[in-house]
A and B are shown apart, each in its own frame.
Chain A
Amino acid sequence: MSVAEQTGESTPRKSVTEYLASHLREYGLLFALIAIMVFFQIVTDGTLLRAINVTNLLLQNSYIVIMALGMLVVIVSGNIDLSVGSVMGFIGALAAVMIVQWEQSVPVTALACIVAGGLIGAAQGYWVAYWKIPSFIVTLAGMLVFRGLSLWLLEGQSVGPFPREFQMIANGFVPDIFPEGFGQALAGIFGARNINVLALGTGIISAAAIVWLGLRARARNKAYGIEDEPRSFFVARNVIVSAALVFILYKLSAFRGLPNVLITMGVLTIIYAFITENTVLGRRIYALGGNAKAAKLSGIKTERLTFLAFVNMGILAAVAGMVFAARLNTATPKAGFALELDVIAAVFIGGASMSGGVGKIVGAVVGAFLMGVLNNGMSIMGIGIDYQQMIKGLVLLAAVIFDVYNKNKQG
């Protein structure tokens, strides 16, 4: 209505507080993550941010993050996938049986797993996209079917161990490309035992890249007169994010360097963030979730997009399944049990909307780590699994209530 038009005209430049109010969600998530980390760092006497624990944190949550990327796409498209935990377990079982029992090579197994994941996604997406069967029901069925299939495939047993080559998927580290003396010289300066120069360098370069991209976007927004965040916010946000990035990579470099999984996770995150925010494909997925009928009448092939969202989810669940199996060095029939709920929770904590059309990749990744830090911190403190579950549940509820409250306030 004209009400909104007039408000916009009368206040062309928003004040800092108004800006904060309208972007509370994004900042809130970041600050919540920092606050939780600071809290656990203090109550665990510094254990949380010890080099080995930071490495563990990344490894422990890698499969959740990988699946959250696919889940975000599925949820933005207006659907849900309850089967990912089971699919992940099934793929892990498939990998174990192929390698250990059928003695297939690792590359053949990896390829087969990814194809299987894609087919599973296609099988579920087909009913959702072309038969308009609610995704909740199709994937609930899938959850049971693939849980059963893993049991059948493993014959109720655990299968393992994996050859070293396969374990490297989850537990390997990227070797330092710089000469050893270089790292030791740096270690002397920082007072650490050893420094992996590649890891530290990656941290500094990615921090610089983030700042550079931010500055470029800002300059462009200014040129087009687009409302942007106040300078103080931009500076503060970039300082915090890049400092945190360099800090974490420094911690990693002081342990064993860059985990292979971090590379997989990082590259996938960048790819999916780019696809969702900067490509025609991404825009169409948001349009589909925002208003499927309008999208369809605008020439968007909504059925095919929905189908592809599930295929993509299946492939990512397969990648996560391999990472998970490699990390545990065995495939068990229970692997991935109830994990779909952690993945879905991460996406909603990250700000996605149940009704579709809203949500960001970065939000989902931060959401996953927020849950991860909570898990890890509470475990270090020795809090029982009973309380852990309750606290995680309440955090999810609080995040969504915060969303709804914010939305109502903005009216």
Chain B
Amino acid sequence: MQTLLEMRDITKTFPGVKALDTVNLSVRQGEIHAIVGENGAGKSTLMKVLSGVYPAGDYEGQIYYDGDIAEFRDISESEARGIIIIHQELALVPLLSIAENLFLGNEVASKGVMQWQETFQRTEGLLRKVGLRESPGTLVDSLGVGKQQLVEIAKALSKEVRLLILDEPTAALSESDSQALLDLILELKAQGVTSIIISHKLNEVRRVADTVTVIRDGTTVSTIDARAEPVTEDRIVRDMVGRDMAHRYPDRQRRAGEMLMEIKDWNVWHPEHAERQVITDVNLSVRAGEVVGIAGLMGAGRTELAMSVFGRSYGRNISGTVEMHGKPVDTSSVTKAIEAGLAYVTEDRKSLGLILEETIRKNVSLANLEGVSSNGVLDENRETEVAEKYRKAMNIRTPGVFQKVMNLSGGNQQKVVLSKWLFSGPEVLILDEPTRGIDVGAKFEIYGIINELSAEGKGVVMISSEMPELLGMCDRIYVMNEGAFVGELTAEEASQERIMSLIVTDE
């Protein structure tokens, strides 16, 4: 098979650090090539070099594309050759329609006047190709993340894509949406489109990839040909982290103690559409030292449940009671919920969890400023000590607590959010997708922290879209679908099949 892309000895230096060090990557025509590596390993930088975000001359090494040397000066030049990147953060305009988004910057127009008929026709064709059954006039805003991802791919197809690069395409998708997306990538391959897929999810990589390149610390560690030899997840993990990882989940002692928190008959309505019930009759309990999971598809209402309990941060007409140690508590505002002993670690750490422009120190103290002040006056020394303590305990990898949070990797940011909530002294922590978008090594550390918390007698509610994670970590799993709990499984009973069957038989 012919080589479509070859990147040779790519070295990219930022002031003071080598982000890429003689990386080699060879992608054959018509294959699906997976690039895996921890966060910060250099995957995204490599793709930025390829697409011209870092223009030719800004890096060392050569790129051969389709037989010639390629020296892209910006993205439009690489796009003109059929290299299309779909970034992790989707680049769609939410208040424009699907059709308008598909042809944004590439409008179907004659003499500057939009040709709506043709735009809509071509949009319909493209949507059929990616299997998205939506009208071209639908606003992107009203689509879920999974469907938005499909719109992005349709947009790539509208540009005669030859090499499609997907950066963490399934990071924000539910299990079934992910499957559909992977099927689509396989189908595009059958049509001759070459793909590079950057992913953390090794089961997905194993499913679709023909070749796997592992990058660690800015260099190529290994390239595995999946057609020649079987690729095991252990092998990839070993290459990624540079060490054996016997267990993906740390061992934990189960010791559920006394009843900590009970949520009874919880009902929530949609904040804007008053007639739509989002959460229906949910009952949930957590004991001291217990890790309880909530499984479900994207849109099942898990985040809505958590946020409505935590200070009524979501929804309206909320009814039901929250009890701590058997006594009803008031959680009607975030402050009261914190006082009652609750903490909610958001799934969206960048926009809901952190003040990115601020330092680690100021983020850690934010939910408990009383703890670092007396009579309303801040004691900055104490604040620094507290932040230092958590930096060490959580193994946040930075030189100090005066680093701005936006400069940290996803895993370290997540540890800052966790630190903030631990410092608020909660008894029950609700962790919403605690390992989303962070690498294998940091995931393992977060699991360790969760186990420590439960060993200290805290109750943990863990919401996750990654079923293996729930199965590996939880003592008990609630299965949620369309705003209601449709099942409850103990760790022994639970399996991916049982969870899925509970969801799909709930009609």
Q: Which residues of A contact B (CB under 8 A)?
A: 1-12, 220, 224-227, 278-284, 286-287, 290-291, 293-301, 357-358
Contacts and interface: CB of A to CB of B under 8 A. Distances in A.
Contact of B397 (A5, A11, A287, A295): A5
A10 B373 CA distance: 34
A1 B335 contact: no
B334 interface: yes
Interface string B362-405: 10011101100100111011001000000000000111101100
Interface string B60-99: 0000000000000000000000000000000000000000
A229 to B, nearest CB: 14
Given A280-B376, A297-B353, A11 B362 contact: no
Nearest to A280: B369
Given A2-B40, A224-B381, A284-B369, A294 B407 contact: no
A296 B19 CA distance: 36
Nearest to B421: A298
A33 B51 CA distance: 45
Contact of B351 (A8, A280, A294): A294
B304 to A, nearest CB: 14
Contact of A291 (B335, B351, B380, B398): B351
A227 B399 CA distance: 11
Contacts of B17: 2-3, 6-7, 10
B171 interface: no
Contacts of A286: 358, 362
Task: Give the most central of A224, A300, A301: most B CB within 10 Å.
Answer: A224
A5 B367 contact: no
B359 to A, nearest CB: 11
Contacts of B335: 299, 301
B366 A295 contact: yes
A278 B399 contact: no
A290 B357 contact: yes
B286 to A, nearest CB: 20
Given A4-B408, A224-B381, A296-B334, A10 B16 contact: yes
A297 B351 contact: no
Interface string B298-332: 00000000000011010000000000000000000
A295 B381 CA distance: 22
Contacts of A296: 313, 334
16 contacts: A3-B14, A4-B408, A5-B412, A7-B14, A8-B399, A220-B381, A224-B381, A280-B378, A283-B362, A283-B369, A283-B378, A297-B313, A297-B352, A299-B333, A299-B335, A357-B358
Interface in B348-362: 351-358, 362
A287 B358 CA distance: 9
Contact of B356 (A3, A9, A291, A301): A291
Q: Is the interface of A mostly helix, strand, loop or mixed?
A: helix
Contact of B338 (A1, A10, A284, A299): A299
B242 to A, nearest CB: 14
A283 B384 CA distance: 14
A78 to B, nearest CB: 12
Given A280-B373, A280-B376, A294-B351, A4 B407 contact: yes
B101 interface: no
A296 B311 CA distance: 10
B15 interface: yes
Given A279-B373, A283-B362, A287-B355, A297 B398 contact: no
A2 B409 contact: yes
Task: Pick the most buried of A3, A12, A299, A300: most chain B CB atoms within 10 A of its CB.
Answer: A299
B329 to A, nearest CB: 15
B149 interface: no
A168 B376 CA distance: 35
Q: A6, A227, A287 — which one has the most chain B CB atoms within 10 A of its CB?
A: A6
Interface in B1-50: 14-17, 19, 39-40
Contacts of B39: 1-2
A284 B333 CA distance: 17
Contacts of A281: 376
B19 A3 contact: yes
B219 interface: no
Given A278-B378, A280-B378, A291-B355, A5 B384 contact: no
Interface in B397-442: 397-400, 402-403, 407-409, 412, 420, 424
A166 to B, nearest CB: 34
Contacts of B400: 8, 225-227
Interface in B270-305: none
A294 B19 contact: no
A293 B351 contact: yes
B195 interface: no
Give me the 10 closest cross-chain CB pairs, A-B, nearest first.
Answer: A2-B40, A4-B407, A290-B355, A7-B16, A8-B399, A298-B367, A6-B17, A299-B334, A299-B335, A280-B369
Most buried by A among B16, B337, B408: B16
B357 A279 contact: no
A12 B403 CA distance: 12
Given A1-B407, A280-B370, A297 B334 contact: yes
